[in-house]
Amino acid sequence: MLTIKNINTYYGQVHALKNVSLHLQEGEIVTLIGANGAGKTTLLNTISGIVPPKSGQILFSGAPIHELPPHSIVERGISQVPEGRQVFKPLSVEDNLELGAYLRYRKRGGKKETKETMAMVFDLFPILLDRRKQLAGTLSGGEQQMLAIGRALMAKPKIMLLDEPSMGLAPLVVQEIFRVIENLAGEQKTTVLLVEQNARVALKTAARGYVLETGKVILEGEAADLMENKDVQRAYLGRDKKEIWER
């Protein structure tokens, strides 16, 4: 469904992604793990067009998208849940969700469809329904993460790019968020690319995984195999707690 071939991305002089290749199949959850600065967020930003690649190809359902601006990529069905949630804090929960449907809203019947999708999001995260008039900035961290995911769902994406949904959240909340992510892939056939620091949870949820280190893919495979891999265990699982502590 999504195929990334040999992309190279730069921030000015800094070579952030080196010949990265990756693919996603429809309805699957794929995780991308790696330490800080490995290039995980850059890869998501490259897919969504925020930081276009210098070379290489990104094909979405066979069509190249690596030269498109972000809004065209969203329109084609790829939505990102940005790192650190980035909900629009001075806006109400409802306004945030409506912004998620920004491109669908102006289409014929878009207003009605937006309402329907919003009802679906409220079904998924009932707490947002109670808080819909509240400003997003007044929500708790977990609620903001739910809002960020709900906001991305408002675009009815075929692929959802999730950037560290567990960041700074209590373990119970993390569990709930991941249950919803599994649901998305299972019931709604949304394909998910999940970037995580919390490798244990990510590998448990995902079917396949890629390990990124200093801009390169150093390992890939079934999530279960990666979990057993000695290097992964040493680098990302054993020191799991310590890594969170250090952040």
Q: What is the binding site for another protein (CB under 8 A)? A: 48, 50, 69-71, 74-75, 79-80, 82, 86-91, 95, 98-100, 102-103, 105-106, 151-152, 155
Beta carbon of residue 4, minimum distance to another protein (angstroms, whole number): 18
Beta carbon of residue 184, minimum distance to another protein (angstroms, whole number): 17
Comparison of 137 and 186: residue with beta carbon closer to another protein: 137
Beta carbon of residue 107, minimum distance to another protein (angstroms, whole number): 11
Q: What is the DSSP string of the chain?
A: -EEEEEEEEEETTEEEEEEEEEEE-TT-EEEEE--TTSSHHHHHHHHTTSS--SEEEEEETTEE-TTS-HHHHHHHTEEEE-TT----TTSBHHHHHHHHTHHHHTSTTHHHHHHHHHHHHHHH-HHHHHTTTSBGGGS-HHHHHHHHHHHHHTT--SEEEEE-TTTT--HHHHHHHHHHHHHHHHHH--EEEEEES-HHHHHHH-SEEEEEETTEEEEEEEHHHHHH-HHHIIIIITTHHHHHHH-
Comparison of 131 and 208: residue with beta carbon closer to another protein: 131
Comparison of 69 and 238: residue with beta carbon closer to another protein: 69
Comparison of 63 and 172: residue with beta carbon closer to another protein: 63
Residues 6+ apart with CB under 8 A from 233: 227
Comparison of 105 and 122: residue with beta carbon closer to another protein: 105
Comparison of 155 and 211: residue with beta carbon closer to another protein: 155
Beta carbon of residue 203, minimum distance to another protein (angstroms, whole number): 26
Beta carbon of residue 85, minimum distance to another protein (angstroms, whole number): 9
Beta carbon of residue 54, minimum distance to another protein (angstroms, whole number): 19
Q: Burial, 179: exposed, middle or buried (Cβ in 10 Å; 0-12, 13-18, 19+)?
A: exposed
